[in-house]
Structure formats: structure tokens, C-alpha cells
């Protein structure tokens, strides 16, 4: 039966193989004669390489190759820039990408210096220990503000400072708004580095087939097609000689989007050199250094408001830490710059950022991708306004929301997708209201909190909103085909890392073709199956690839109906597609299965009409003119344990709007997972660096990821404002959960410590920093009392 399956919580097609341990992950690839690679990495943050002695390593048992920068030829060209800077007037961008191996100097701890390939990972790691490198240490730039002030020994010798970029965007006249303001509030915010830490580390397996002259690469990447195209260029091959497969990926969250990581270039190259398959699997310690980081920013922000708390303007000047290289361009700071505007009408905006090179791992997107920082700044500024003007925190937000009749709403600055930042659709107040209702905001503040406080319990409530730019271009494509069995094949170029694409894309095809979702086979991330596309990032899979799947399935539906009508001698408007069959509506006995139709569409003898294309197949592409803007509100009630300052989340509510929903079960799962990562980011995860830039807690015991004990039960509410930018009306949701948790925790904790007028300005927090802040504030309060 062709029942409605889009919009339903359909169970996932991919689950059974994952649950049985049958799903192929990259590290599972086994090939005859497989060799293993390991890397020697820099122990210093900034040092010249004076000499490298690899002789002992070459003699080590089981070693087939030891390679340094001088051995790898054209791979020493700088890695490609992934995202060029957008067309913003006056923009400065100093492009410095890494090379596959460090040659004259190392710029961060963990930068690869040499690669060993051996018969086993154990033997390769033995040989790594036998490589001797002489270094001359250089001053290390770790703090982003100091880095920009440095006068010498820059991260890149050919630059005259550590400045990587400088961008100003403005709307209206902030200074005028400031002059007219009732109140101007200035704050300094910091948002520290974090990492994505997917449970599966990165892995690359490469197999050069000497006889077939083809290279097959299995790669834990979110962007298999760009990897294929880039590898072909680097290795002197044509695109059709390279096949990149991104099989099941064990979580990515942006960290597997950076391209090219050194290992992605070197492992395929080594397979060609040695004419044997080679695998490299990152270990967790390496992951802390060699996989991209995110999040380091310092903001000096100012908000100008009128007497009622309406925003007149915002000025924000910030520094963004890109690490030692800037392969990912300006996506992150531009996201911060744009997402700061949130759901609010901000008539004037002056935003200026500088990007600093530092001697740390390069920075690239991690779930949220710069959005967190912007949301943190605007939400915290609104909290400070609420406090100073004595306005309720939910009310100050409501007053500043962009009204529902203002869409499309133009913020008059440029977004990360190079298009003007124009919100496509939105209806914000119902989302805020629903979050307040679900957490019983008014009752909590009026009754519950005073009662609990009287019992000596430190409880606080927070409520924040966010906008999430999603579903950006340029494009994705999909091919849909009815197979001889009557089952349906959907092929798309994006990779998948747990988002349920095997099911949500299947739902789209099943809906059009009247088959069961389990009869749709989805293939993603194999460049031999689909040639075009960019990848899975920016919450764009469902929007961009999803619309391509829907368009291709719709085209196949037309072909099926026309062929069936022809063969059954009825008109096309009398055909229904139901239960895997094309049936004559008035006389269901008159029918053909999709398998029969697929066979008829591919005759093996006889003649066809001129112009006939074989098969029930169609390929379609979708490229939106700009991204869609999803949005939502989070609310939480936190309790701080006296003495230990441990935090307990008593209630957590998410209300979000991602337009039309394909599978609400999957969407809710995305939200839950995002919130969990947001909680880790807000309250647990902090990379602690020593003076060389070594991470003192580069393991999962000391770098605390949230467990089932820290992540609370969440209540989710949905609103649905369709996007006008695509035929299905969908928006992305992958990052929604993660974005506003920092300011939410900060606000609720401020509330819990309102007696000492706590104001949290820095993320991440932890029990220790919270305790120190409260003590400090408490002492200040005493001082204030003594003075007054």
C-alpha cells in the first residue's frame, strides 16, 4: 500500500547490520597483503627540524618503507584550501595550508614528520620509536591574543605577523545607535577549544591495483567525492582511476570533514609506491592532536538598547583561533559573526574579527561550527540587559524577536555560503512560548524556585533561543532506479555518519514509488556509484541530497506510470503505484509489478521507439539559492550540589522547528545527541595545554565526555514552518541540539547564584571554575556591601 511514509517515525533500515556487527567500517577492511602505517609526530609546538635520521627505522623488523618530507615529491605541495573566503569588501586572508609531512619546521604538537609502513601496526610503531630528529625549539604561540601581538618567530616565517585573516561586516550605523541608546553594556566573552571526539577514530585504507591501474580508498571522510577528485590530482591519476568509499562512519560531527588530512594523502601514495594495500588507523591519543579542533574565540561585545530593552545595535570585535593552518577558510568565524544575530531584529551591527595563527592543531568545523560562539555572545548580552533593566529573561527575548510577517528577513551581511544572510521563513514566538510552557517557566520562577531555595537548594532556570543556518549549497545529486527485483535503488554522493540516511532517503523514494521503505536500498559515499557532490556537513544532507532524491524519485514515478499505462493500455491518470505494483485504479486486477516494468524498460531483443532511454531510472540535482534557517529554544532547570558544585540537570526542554520533517524519530535522535554534545562542551570538556602546546589530558579518562549520568532525559517539542527554498519545505537539524547549551547553562547557573550576582562569561565551565567564580563574586559582593 502506498501509505504516507514521509513524516513518519519509520524504523531504520541500517540498524540490523549495525546491531549484528555486520556493518563495514573503514578499519574493518581486510585485504590480502595488507600493510600498516604509523606516523612520527612532533613533540614540540614550534621548532625547526635540523635533521632526521631514519636508518635504524629502515632496518627495523617488518618495515617496508620509511618516508620523510624529502621522499614524497608532489605531496609536499600545500594541501588545497577547502573553502575560499567569501566576497566581503576589504577582507584580508592569508592562506597557509599544511603539507603532508613537516619539512623545515613543525608548527604544532602532533604534526606528522615521518611515515613508516610495515607488516603490522605493532611493527610500524616499533620503527617509529627508532627515528631520531634534531629540533631547534622556537617560541610557541598558544594564546590567541598574545599570538596577534607577537613581534617575531611567527607561525609562518613568510608572514609579518600571526594574522591569518581580518574581516569587517556592518549593517546600519552602530555608533549612531549607541549615541541614542538608553543603555550600553559591554562584556568580554571567551569560548575555549574543544574536540568532536567521535568514538571511531579516523582511518584510511588504500589499495593500488597495479594491473588495473586503479586506486581504491576506504576513508572515514564526510566528503568522499572531493577526496576522490583531490587524490586524482595529487597522485597524477584521472578521476575515474580513483574510487573513494566512505562506508559506515562511526560518528564524525565535522571532524572527518577536513580535507586533506595528511594521512589521506600519504596512505594512498604509499600503496602506489609499495604496490600493496596499506591501512592507517588513528589511535585516540593521535586523535587529540591530528584531527581538527574547534571553538577558540575571544569576544569584546557591546549592546545598545532602549528603555524597554529593544536592541538598537550590537558591536562585536573578536579573535578566532585557526591553529597552525587555515585550510577551512573563514567558515567558522563567519558562522559566529552571522549566528550572533540569532532570532532577533538588530537594526545596526558592527562585527569585526581577526583570525590568529597559533601553534596548535588546525581548527575546522565541529557540530555547530562557530555558531555556538555567536549564540553565546548574543544570549549572554540579552541576559545582561535583562538584569540591568530588570526585565524577565524570556520577555527580553520575546520583545526582540523578528516578527513572523518580516520573512524573508535580510540581515544585510554575507553568510558562509557566500550568499546574503537572509532568513527564509520563521515563526519564533510560538517556539519560545512552547519551551516556557513545557518547562513551566512562570510557575518555576514564582513558586518552585523560592520553595526550593528556602529548603537550601541551589536551583536555577535558563531559557535561550538560537538560529541555525542549514542546508547550504552548492548542490547534491541522486540517482533512483527500479531494479529487476522490483526493489528500488537510491544512490547519492554524500557520506553518512549515523544520521539515518539509509532510511530517510528510502522514505522519500518509497513515498513516490509506492514501495515499502525496506525495499529501498540506499547507497551513499561510494564515488564509483555516484560521481558528483560535495559532502555531509552544515546540516545539509536532508535538505540538499534529500531534495535531489525526491526529485529523482518523482521523475522515476513518471516513467513507471507512463510505461505501465502504455503496457496496460490505460491512460496515465488511471495508474496508482501501490505495494510495489502499478495498478489500474478502476480495475486493480490489471497490474504489473515494478520488477516486470523494470524488465520491460530494458528490452534485450527487438526494436524500441526512437529516443527511448532504457530503464526506470533518473538522476536529479538540487542546489538551493541559499541556506535555510532552522531555529528553536532550549530551557533547563539546573541544580548545583552544595559543597561539590556538581551540576544536576533537573529538566531539559528543546523546542525546535526544522520545517517539514521526514522522520521525527531520527530528528529527535539528532536533537538528543546534539544536546549531549552541547552539555559536554558547556560543562565538561576542556583541553588543557602545557607551555609547548601538549595536551595534558589527551585521553578519554581525563578529557571528560558526557556519560549517561550527565546527560538528562530531554523533552522535545516541535513546530513546523516550511522552508520556501526547496520543494519539500525541509530544513536541517543536525546541529540544533548542540548550539545553545553554553549560554543556557550559564544563564541557569547565574540564576542559581543570583544572590552573589554571578555572571558567567567563559565556556567551558566545570565544577572547579564555577566554585572559583562564585567565591570571587561572593567576595566582590562583600566588598560592595562594605563600601556601600
Partner 1 sequence: MSELHTIQTNINGKPVEASVPGRLLLSDFIREELRLTGTHVGCEHGVCGACTILYDGLPSRSCLMLAVQADGHEIVTVEGLASNGELHPLQEAFKAKHGLQCGYCTPGFLMTLVPFLAEHPDPDEATVRDAISGNLCRCTGYQSIVDATLLAARQMREKAGAVDGSEATS
Residues that bind partner 1 (CB under 8 A): 11-12, 14-16, 18-25, 27-28, 30, 61, 121-123, 126, 196-201, 248-251, 253, 281, 283-284, 497-500, 665-666, 668-669, 672-677, 699-701, 705, 707-709, 711, 713-714, 737
Residue 306 CA to residue 121 CA, distance in Å, equals 64
Exposure b/e, 86-107, CB count within 10 A at least 16 = b: bebeeeebbebbbbbbbeebbb
Q: Shortest distance, CB of residue 593 to partner 1, whole angstroms? A: 27
Spatial distance between the Cα atoms of 251 and 674, rounded to a whole number of angstroms: 12
Q: Which is nearer to partner 1, 130 or 393 (CB)?
A: 130
Residue that has been written with the C-alpha cell 514521509 in this structure: 6
Residue with smaller CB distance to partner 1, 50 or 122: 122
Identity of the residue, 45 or 500, whose beta carbon is nearer to partner 1 in the bound complex: 500
Between residues 62 and 778, which has the closer beta carbon with respect to partner 1?
A: 62
Dist CA 644 CA 44 (whole Å): 36
**Cβ contact 560:577 at 8 Å:** yes
Q: Output 25 or 475, the one with its CB closest to partner 1.
A: 25
- Cβ nearer to partner 1, comparing 300 with 521: 521
> In the complex with partner 1, which residue's Cβ is closer, 449 or 496?
496
Least distance (Å) between residue 705 CB and partner 1: 5
Cβ–Cβ < 8 Å for 148, 356:
yes
Q: CB-wise, 713 or 785, nearer to partner 1? A: 713
All 3 cell numbers of residue 445? 520562577
Minimum gap (Å) between residue 126 Cβ and partner 1: 8
Provide the minimum distance between the beta carbon of 37 and partner 1 in the complex, in angstroms, as a whole number.
15
Instruction: Give the nearer residue to partner 1 in terms of CB position, either 251 or 408.
Output: 251
CB of 29 to partner 1, least distance (A): 9
At residue 320, the 3 state secondary structure works out as strand
Q: Let me know: does 74 contact 234? Beta carbons within 8 Å.
A: yes
SS3 assignment for 488-523: EEEEECCCCCCCCHHHHHHHHHHHHHCCCHHHEEEE
Asked whether the beta carbons of 510 and 594 are under 8 A apart, the reply is: no
Indicate if the alpha-carbon torsion angle 129, 133, 134, 135 is positive or negative.
negative
In 3D, which of 751, 762, 776 has the Cα closest to residue 681?
A: 762
Q: Tell me the DSSP string of 227-279.
A: HHHHHHHHHT--GGGEEEE--B-S--TTTTT-S--HHHHHHHHHHHHHTS-EE
Instruction: Quote the least distance from Cβ 284 to partner 1, whole Å.
Output: 4
Nearest-10 crossing angle of helices 428-439, 393-400? 170
Q: How far is the CB of 62 from partner 1 (least distance, A)?
A: 8
Which residue in 626, 188, 633, 184 sits closest to 413, CA to CA? Answer: 626
Name the residue nearer to partner 1 (CB basis): 284 or 772.
284
Q: Provide the minimum distance between the beta carbon of 281 and partner 1 in the complex, in angstroms, as a whole number.
A: 8
Residue 426: name the closest of 737, 732, 721 by CA: 721
Residue 452 falls in which region: left (phi positive, over 0), alpha (psi -120 to 50) or beta = alpha
> Across the strands, what pairs with 351?
169, 316
Least distance to partner 1, CB of residue 21, Å: 2
CB of 199 to partner 1, least distance (A): 4
Q: Could you tell me the sign of the dihedral formed by the alpha carbons of 439, 440, 446, 448, in that order?
A: negative
Contact 94, 167 (CB under 8 A): no
Write down the least CB distance from residue 699 to partner 1, Å: 6
CA pair distance 419, 93, nearest whole angstrom: 19
**59 vs 699 by CB, closer to partner 1:** 699
247 or 426: CB nearest partner 1: 247
Q: How far is the CB of 706 from partner 1 (least distance, A)?
A: 8
Sorted by sequence, the CB contacts under 8 Å of residue 463 that are 6+ apart come out as 393, 394, 397, 432, 435, 436, 439, 441, 633, 634, 635, 744, 747
Q: How far is CA 117 from CA 18, 38, 188, 594, 647, in A?
A: 31, 7, 49, 50, 47
Q: How far is the CB of 715 from partner 1 (least distance, A)?
A: 10
Assess contact for 654 and 717: CB atoms under 8 A: yes
Considering the complex, state which of residue 222 and residue 534 has its C-beta at the smaller distance from partner 1.
222
Amino acid at each position: 500500500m502506498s501509505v504516507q511514509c514521509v513524516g513518519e517515525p519509520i524504523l531504520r533500515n541500517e540498524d540490523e547490520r549495525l546491531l549484528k556487527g555486520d556493518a563495514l567500517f573503514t578499519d574493518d577492511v581486510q585485504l590480502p597483503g595488507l600493510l600498516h602505517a604509523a606516523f612520527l609526530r612532533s613533540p614540540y609546538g614550534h621548532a625547526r627540524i635540523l635533521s632526521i635520521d631514519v636508518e635504524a627505522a629502515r632496518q627495523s623488523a617488518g618495515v617496508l618503507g620509511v618516508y620523510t618530507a624529502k621522499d614524497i615529491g608532489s605531496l609536499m605541495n600545500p594541501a588545497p584550501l577547502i573553502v575560499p573566503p567569501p566576497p566581503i569588501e576589504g577582507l584580508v586572508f592569508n592562506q597557509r595550508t599544511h603539507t603532508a609531512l613537516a619539512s623545515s619546521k613543525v608548527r604544532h604538537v602532533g604534526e606528522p614528520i615521518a611515515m613508516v609502513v610495515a607488516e603490522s601496526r605493532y611493527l610500524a610503531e616499533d620503527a617509529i620509536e627508532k627515528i631520531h630528529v634534531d629540533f631547534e625549539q622556537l617560541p610557541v604561540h598558544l594564546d590567541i591574543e598574545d599570538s596577534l601581538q607577537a613581534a617575531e618567530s611567527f607561525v609562518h616565517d613568510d608572514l609579518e605577523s600571526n594574522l591569518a585573516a581580518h574581516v569587517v561586516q556592518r549593517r546600519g550605523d552602530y555608533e549612531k545607535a549607541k549615541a541614542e541608546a538608553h543603555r550600553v553594556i559591554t562584556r568580554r566573552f571567551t569560548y575555549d577549544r574543544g574536540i568532536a571526539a567521535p568514538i571511531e577514530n579516523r582511518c584510511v585504507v588504500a589499495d593500488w591495483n597495479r594491473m588495473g591501474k586503479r586506486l581504491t580508498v576506504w576513508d572515514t571522510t564526510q566528503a568522499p567525492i572531493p577526496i576522490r577528485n583531490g587524490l586524482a590530482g595529487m597522485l597524477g591519476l584521472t578521476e575515474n582511476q580513483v574510487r573513494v568509499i566512505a562506508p559506515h562512519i562511526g560518528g564524525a560531527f565535522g571532524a572527518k570533514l577536513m580535507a586533506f588530512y595528511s594521512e589521506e594523502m600519504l596512505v594512498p601514495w604509499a600503496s602506489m609506491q609499495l604496490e600493496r594495500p596499506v591501512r592507517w588507523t588513528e589511535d585516540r591519543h593521535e586523535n587529540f592532536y591530528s584531527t581538527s579542533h574547534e571553538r577558540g574565540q575571544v569576544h569584546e561585545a557591546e549592546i545598545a538598547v532602549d528603555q524597554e530593552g529593544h536592541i538598537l545595535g550590537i558591536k562585536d570585535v573578536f579573535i578566532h583561533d585557526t591553529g597552525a593552518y587555515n585550510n577551512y577558510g573563514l567558515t567558522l568565524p563567519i558562522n559566529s559573526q552571522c549566528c550572533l544575530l540569532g532570532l532577533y531584529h538588530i537594526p545596526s551591527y558592527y562585527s569585526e574579527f581577526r583570525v590568529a595563527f597559533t601553534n596548535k592543531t588546525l581548527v575546522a568545523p565541529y557540530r555547530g561550527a562557530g555558531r555556538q560562539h555567536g549564540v553565546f555572545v548574543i544570549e549572554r548580552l540579552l541576559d545582561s540587559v535583562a538584569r540591568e533593566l530588570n526585565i524577565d529573561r524570556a520577555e527580553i527575548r520575546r520583545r526582540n524577536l523578528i516578527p513572523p510577517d518580516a520573512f524573508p528577513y535580510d540581515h544585510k551581511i554575507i553568510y558562509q555560503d557566500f550568499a546574503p544572510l537572509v532568513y527564509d521563513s520563521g515563526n519564533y514566538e510560538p517556539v519560545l512560548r512552547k519551551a516556557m510552557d513545557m518547562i513551566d517557566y512562570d510557575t518555576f520562577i514564582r513558586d518552585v524556585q523560592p520553595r526550593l531555595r528556602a529548603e537550601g537548594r541551589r536551583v536555577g532556570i535558563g531559557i535561550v533561543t538560537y538560529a541555525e543556518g542549514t542546508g547550504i549549497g552548492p548542490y547534491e545529486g541522486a540517482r533512483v532506479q527500479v531494479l529487476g527485483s522490483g526493489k528500488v535503488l537510491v544512490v547519492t554522493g554524500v557520506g553518512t555518519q549515523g544520521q539515518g540516511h539509509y532510511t530517510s532517503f528510502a522514505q522519500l523514494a518509497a513515498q513516490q514509488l509506492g514501495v515499502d521503505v525496506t525495499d529501498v536500498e540506499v547507497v551513499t559515499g561510494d564515488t564509483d556509484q555516484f560521481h558528483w557532490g560535495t559532502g555531509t556537513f552544515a546540516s545539509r544532507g536532508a535538505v540538499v541530497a534529500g531534495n535531489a532524491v525526491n526529485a529523482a524519485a518523482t521523475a522515476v514515478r513518471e516513467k513507471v506510470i507512463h510505461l505501465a499505462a502504455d503496457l496496460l493500455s490505460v491512460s496515465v491518470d488511471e495508474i496508482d503505484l501501490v505495494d510495489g505494483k502499478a495498478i489500474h485504479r478502476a480495475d486493480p486486477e490489471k497490474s504489473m509489478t515494478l520488477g516486470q516494468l523494470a524488465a520491460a524498460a530494458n528490452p534485450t531483443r527487438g526494436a524500441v521507439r526512437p529516443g527511448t532511454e532504457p530503464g526506470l531510472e533518473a538522476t536529479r540535482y538540487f542546489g538551493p539559492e541559499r541556506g535555510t534557517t532552522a531555529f528553536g529554544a532550549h530551557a533547563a532547570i539546573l541544580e548545583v550540589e552544595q559543597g561539590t558544585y556538581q551540576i544536576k540537570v533537573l529538566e531539559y526542554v528543546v523546542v525546535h522547528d526544522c520545517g517539514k520533517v521526514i522522520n521525527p524519530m531520527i530528528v529527535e535522535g539528532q536533537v538528543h545527541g546534539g544536546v549531549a554534545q552541547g552539555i559536554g562542551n558547556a560543562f565538561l570538556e576542556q583541553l588543557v595545554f602545557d607551555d609547548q602546546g601538549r595536551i595534558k589530558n589527551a585521553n578519554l579518562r581525563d578529557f571528560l565526555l558526557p556519560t549517561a549520568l550527565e546527560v538528562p532525559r530531554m523533552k522535545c517539542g516541535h513546530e513546523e514552518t516550511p522552508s520556501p527554498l526547496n520543494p519539500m519545505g525541509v530544513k536541517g537539524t543536525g546541529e540544533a541540539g548542540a548550539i545553545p547549551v553554553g549560554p543556557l547553562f550559564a544563564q541557569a547557573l547565574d540564576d542559581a547564584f543570583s544572590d552573589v550576582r554571578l555572571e558567567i562569561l567563559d565556556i567551558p565551565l566545570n565544577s572547579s571554575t564555577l566554585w572559583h567564580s562564585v567565591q570571587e563574586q561572593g567576595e566582590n559582593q562583600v566588598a560592595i556591601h562594605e563600601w556601600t
